[in-house]
Amino acid sequence: MSNLRKRTVANPDEGSAVSTLIESFKGLDAYAKPLDDFKVKTSSGASITLVSAFFIVLLLISEFVDWRSVKLQPHIDVDKARNEKMTINMNITFPHIPCFLLSLDVMDIAGEHQNDVSHNVYKVRLSPDGSVINKSKGVVGEHDGGNPAPKDPNYCGSCYGGIADNEKGCCNTCDDVRRAYEARGWTLSNPDAIEQCVNEHYSEKIKEQSIEGCNVHGHIEVNKVPGNVHFAPGRPLTQARMHVHDLSQYSVNENFNFGHIIHSLSFGEEIHYLKNPLDNTSKLVSHSHYTFQYFVKVVSTKFELKNGSKIATNQFSITENDMDTTAKAGMPQQGYLPGVFFNYDISPMLITYVEYQKPFAHFLTDVCAIVGGIFTVAGIVDSFVYKAEKSFKRKVELGKGS
């Protein structure tokens, strides 16, 4: 009894059920394979395969580059910002007007006036050939060999009828006298009659610098309301509540003119995505009394980057008008001031650019579409070529080929 062993016999019905299940599962195969004996490989099929593989690789590289690239998607909204300030960045060269004669003024519809702006704005004196003389603010007397000898500490110079800007009522320098005159709305037309100007050799310095040019660069802060920024000759004055300029020193030299080169001009933070329309613009003339007007439409712009940071700046469009204001007698037409004027208006629209990169799922979808589409089209072409070859060979065998 101990030598007897129990043998397990497989149930024939159980094996049959598994085989049936596997066969049923095979029926789901959408890619039925022909027998190797029935596969026919041709030279035309190999050529079509190589061509289709080339196009697949080419399109896959293009799709990969597109997936990795970051795009900017614009959206337009109403600008709801209030009480904002706007920065105007500039770099402009005036080859035929000296720095001491160049004034930068800002006016807006809110009533704010900034006359002869000097804060954050630098004037660089240029020689007639365009080389830099000095890089400090270019005014009469700076870096020209020293200042006049110091006076008695108790000295109190006359203001010659002007209004002094100090409690003592003293004007100890030529510039003090000039400011006192400006407070009265007068012009300093005869500096040789002013003791302080004679001591500082003011007239000689003006004559020395009269052949120079000037580069103005820097930035100014303005209210974000319509207004204008202009470069004009002479110091600005207020007479009868009107904004005027002292042209006495400008009109004596026919070589002065407001031909200019705008190296760069932007409103707000400078962004490498944006190209400003006035960059590297050149306007050169030979007339002294010539007015350049640029009408600027400023559009608020915001960039929302993928790293979460936001940058607020502005874009602008431009129209321009140039006018020769010389009258028949050689004098400027009344009411026209020679200079360069940037009249800016603010658009109520806000353009928001959002950085966008295609998701990886879209990249996979496009890859499948490229591979599947090319293989399908190549299969159709291969089938057509194969049938054409078979038909031609059959005709040749029957003696009908030519």
Is residue 115 domain-shared with residue 253, that is, in the same domain? yes
CB distance 113 to 244 below 8 Å? no
Q: What is the pLDDT of residues 100-115, one digit of tens each?
A: 888 899 999 988 888 8
Determine, yes or no, domain membership for 140.
no
Whether residues 336 and 320 share a domain: the answer is yes
Does residue 145 lie within any of the structural domains?
Answer: no
> Does the structure show a pLDDT above 80 at 323?
yes
Residues 332 and 284 both lie in one domain: yes
Same domain as 249, residue 310: yes
The mean-pLDDT minimum among 8-22, 61-75, 230-244, 300-314 falls in 8-22
Q: Note whether residue 294 is domain-resident.
A: yes
Q: In this structure, is residue 379 part of a structural domain?
A: yes
Predicted local confidence at residue 9, as pLDDT: 53
The gap between the terminal CA atoms of the chain, to the nearest Å, is 90
Centre a 10 Å sphere on the Cβ of residue 133 and count the other Cβ atoms it contains.
18
**Residue 367 resides in a domain:** yes
Per the structure, the count of domains in the chain is 2
Beta-bridged to residue 106, according to DSSP, are 114, 229
Same structural domain for residues 288 and 379?
no
DSSP for residue 326: B
Find the domain containing 101 and state its range: 76-125+219-356
Count CA atoms within 13 Å of residue 242 on its CB side. Answer: 6
Whether residue 363 sits in one domain with residue 351: no
What distance in Å separates the CA atoms of residue 361 and residue 378, rounded to the nearest whole number? 26
Report pLDDT digits (tens) over 27-75: 766 666 676 666 777 788 888 888 988 999 999 999 999 988 888 888 9
Question: Do 233 and 369 sit in the same domain of this protein?
Answer: no
- What are 23's strand-pairing partners? none
Confidence of residue 139 (pLDDT cuts 50, 70, 90): very low
Residues 243 and 334 both lie in one domain? yes
Residue 19 belongs to some domain of the structure:
no
Which tokens sit at 78? 């109403």
